[in-house]
Amino acid sequence: MIRTENLIKLYNLGGVEVRALDGVSLTVHEGEMIAVTGASGSGKSTLMNILGCLDRPDSGSYWLGDEDVAQLPKKRLAQIRNRRIGFVFQTFNLLPRMTAFENVELPLLYAGNTKQVRDLAMDALRLVGLENRTHHEPNQLSGGQRQRVAIARAIVMNPNIILADEPTGNLDSRTGNEIMELFEELHSQGRTIIIVTHEPAVAQRCGRQVHMVDGQIVDGMLQHV
Ligand code: ADP
Ligand code: MG
């Protein structure tokens, strides 16, 4: 379902070349739940942004299903992201002056689905347990509730793939545990889930751990069967 081959991503910082990804080859099968671990700066977010079609590699291949999406135009990548991938961030990335409901309906509006917006957005908010917070704005919600809104937004288009970059990093351990239970529920429904985490307790709840060092995967790139 997800396969990358030799992904390279370079950044230029004041004339110094940084190899954020230095030949990443990774296969993730449909329905897997995997953790990506590694020190700060090892390339985890860079990899997630490419897997999530938020960014493109300088070279290498990325097959999503049977399509190589590595060098598609940004507009096409945005469409693929909208329909196939839900992305959850450490800092939630909700729009501040919009209610929970308005944040969750955005992907539907972007996709041109205006008919079922109300039902689908409400279904997603119900699934994350926020059906009675739909008119709250982010600053009226706790961190855990904000992340639930972000998860509702990520699943409202019913994507097969959910990517989460340190989703529990800004939450206390009890709230983080509740968020992990939500990911486990989404996984049990058959979705493919990739979670970046610093926390061993979070990583151990995933079926496989992929470890990154200096822009490379050093362990876990293939599923052990
Ligand atoms: P992680 O998520 O594992 O902490 P990142 O993927 O964010 O690591 O970063 C990998 C490397 O790429 C780091 O050395 C970081 O400084 C560099 N980097 C990331 N984004 C940029 C950017 N936009 N411009 C320049 N360097 C970047
Ligand atoms: Mg990061």
For 174-199, the pLDDT digits (tens) are 999 999 999 999 999 999 999 999 99
User: What are the pLDDT digits (tens) for 143-170?
Assistant: 999 999 999 999 999 999 999 999 999 9
User: What are the pLDDT digits (tens) for 26-36?
Assistant: 999 999 999 99
pLDDT at position 208, please?
A: 95
Instruction: Over range 6-23, report the average pLDDT.
Output: 96
| DSSP 8-class letter at 43 | S
> Phi and psi of 63, rounded to 5°?
-95, 125
* Token pair listed for 133: 């917070």
Residue 221 clears pLDDT 80, i.e. is over it: no
Q: What is the number of the ligand 1 atom nearest to the C-alpha of 46?
A: 6
Instruction: Over range 69-96, report the average pLDDT.
Output: 96
From the CA of 44, the nearest ligand is: 1
- Walk across the sheet containing 192-196 and list its strands: 85-89, 161-165, 192-196, 33-38, 208-213, 216-219
Residue 17 clears pLDDT 50, i.e. is over it: yes
> Phi and psi of 5, rounded to 5°?
-135, 115
219: left (phi over 0), alpha (psi -120 to 50) or beta: beta
Q: Rounded CA gap, 94 and 97, in Å? A: 9
pLDDT at position 212, please?
A: 97
pLDDT at position 91, please?
A: 95
pLDDT at position 8, please?
A: 98
* Token pair listed for 169: 């990093």
pLDDT at position 179, please?
A: 96
Residues 161, 3: contact at Cβ < 8 Å? no
Instruction: Answer whether 54 contacts ligand 1 (Cβ < 6 A).
Output: no
Q: What percent of the chain has pLDDT over 90?
A: 95
Ligand 1 atom 12: the closest Cα is on which residue? 20
Mutate to test the pocket of ligand 1, among 8, 13, 18 (most ligand atoms within 8 A of CB): 18
Q: Rounded CA gap, 160 and 149, in Å? A: 18
